[in-house]
Structure 1
Amino acid sequence: MTVTVESQVDRLENELRPYYGIHKITWRNLMSSRGAEGFWGTLGQLYHAMNLGVPLMRAAGRRASTLGPEYAEFAHWCEHHADEEAPHVEWLLNDVAKAGRDRQAMVDAFPEPEILAFMGTQFALVEQVDPVAILGYIYVAEGHPNQPDGLQALAARFDLPLEAFDTLLFHTEADTEHGEEIAELIERYATSERRHQALVASGRAFLTGWSSYFSRLSTQSPAQS
């Protein structure tokens, strides 16, 4: 009799699966009700999430570096990945400008409460539980990239300029490689029930945060948002 041992990534996926479904449904509802306006609003909040993600990774790396040699590989990954992701925030703003939108308005717009809440959860997990926790949210974000044909169909359906999708399209390829790298780190570091639950909490906060944002905007009239 062969006993199959569930991988740490499979275990994480199984616990987060219900939230993936809600995430997709609320996104579709938002786009159905708000169209291009829903896309631009989401892109603006994605900017804020990405902009907070870089200092989050640096904070996780700093804390990990104080916790002993076991965390050395993770701390190095945090610094390397933060350096890699930092320019992408500017890329996204450039996409907005190329598409004829006001990039400074996106910078100046206040982050929505759902985005502040789920990113705040990530910082709390880093400082109070375990810095490795952020692998949960980053795995969800980068281990399940958008597909190019889906983004192109979205642009065509709502008459959106393809220039607005340059950074998103770049990540459809880059995140496939990143997802594999993050999965390897999860297998290495999810060595206790506490760490596993921290990863789940991180990924769940990301998915439910975006889902709540999509759901709220899909039920509001343009005048209310």
Structure 2
Amino acid sequence: MTTHSEELCRKIEMVMPIYAAATRRMITSPGFRDIYPEYLSTSHMLVRASVPVMRRALARCVELARQDEVADRLGAYLREHIPEELGHDEWVRDDMAAIGADPDEPWRRMPPPSVARVVGSQYYWIDHYHPVTLLGHITVLEGYPPTFPVIEDMIRRTGYPRAGFQNLLKHARLDVHHRKDLFAAIDALPLRPHHRAAMSTSAMNSVILYADVIDDLMTRVPARAAA
């Protein structure tokens, strides 16, 4: 029998090549060294939204819990998981400092529309449909962590010190465990077909939008670097 998490991963893997292709275009660009600081700045904009989005989902779970068992159990998972995600935006700032970039720069900039679309879609579905949608988004983030060979390739291609890649290296290690906990939580939920469809839609949307974020950030680097 197929589990909820297995079904979700099958859906994600249908669109994951889109994200993989965008990532490969970025990493193999001749100007990747110049692109990487923008990648970190954009990553910070995304990462710093993770805990607030989860807190909003938890608040919705509390609102729905009395009449919604899925929301009640999802709330229990979020209460445990939110503390594990605190401070990850500081990891990105540390990476920026390690490569000589200004770690305060992401706070001074308005996040671009590509970032707002990723985060905003989660807020919308949490508030106007059901917080279970966030599990699809989290699965994309933690179910498919960066691999060590890819990170090593990024280090080699940029020439930046290894200290500038600690956020990626930490997630490559930690998300293996987070993925196991996440899948156990998903499989324990009494999901109905509409819940499973919502998770899948959210997850596939996130994959496609993350690919757009990568393509977009490359356009913000001077043309001479990204050519």
**CA 47–216 in structure 1, closer or farther in 2 if over 3 Å, else same:** closer
CA contact 2:147–2:172 (8 Å) conserved in 1: yes
| TM-score scaled by length of structure 1 | 0.89
Task: Summarize the alignment of residues 170-209 of structure 1 with structure 2, pairs less than 5 Å apart.
Answer: 170-189=170-189, 191-209=191-209
Partner of 2:54 in structure 1?
57
User: SS in structure 1 opposite 2:87?
Assistant: helix
Q: Return 5+ residue gaps in structure 1 as ranges.
A: none
Partner of 1:20 in structure 2?
16
Partner of 1:144 in structure 2?
144
Partner of 1:130 in structure 2?
130
1:9 is the counterpart of 2:2: no
Partner of 1:36 in structure 2?
33
1:87 is the counterpart of 2:81: no
CA contact 2:77–2:185 (8 Å) conserved in 1: no
**CA 221–98 in structure 1, closer or farther in 2 if over 3 Å, else same:** closer
Q: Return 5+ residue gaps in structure 2 as ranges.
A: none
- Deviation of 1:220 after TM superposition, in Å, equals 7.0
Q: Identical aligned pairs, as a percentage?
A: 23
Q: Equivalents in 1 of 2:134, 2:75: separation in Å?
A: 12
Q: Structure 1 stretch 83-92 or stretch 122-131: which is displaced more?
A: 83-92
- Deviation of 1:44 after TM superposition, in Å, equals 1.3
1:47 is the counterpart of 2:44: yes
CA contact 2:34–2:221 (8 Å) conserved in 1: no
Partner of 2:164 in structure 1?
164
1:163-191 per-residue CA deviation (whole Å, 9 max, x = no partner) reads: 11112211111111111111112212361
Determine which structure has greater relative contact order: mean sequence separation of CA pairs < 8 Å that are 6+ residues apart, divided by chain length: 2
Task: Summarize the alignment of residues 62-81 of structure 1 with structure 2, pairs less than 5 Å apart.
Answer: 62-68=59-65, 70=69, 71-81=71-81
- Deviation of 1:221 after TM superposition, in Å, equals 6.7
Q: Equivalents in 2 of 1:144, 1:52: separation in Å?
A: 19
Q: Equivalents in 2 of 1:37, 1:192: separation in Å?
A: 47
Give the number of equivalent residue pairs: 221
CA contact 1:190–1:196 (8 Å) conserved in 2: no
Q: Equivalents in 2 of 1:72, 1:28: separation in Å?
A: 40
CA contact 1:8–1:190 (8 Å) conserved in 2: no
Q: Which amino acid letter does the alignment assign opposite residue 45 of structure 2?
A: H
**CA 59–217 in structure 1, closer or farther in 2 if over 3 Å, else same:** closer
Large movers: runs of 4+ above 3 Å? 216-221
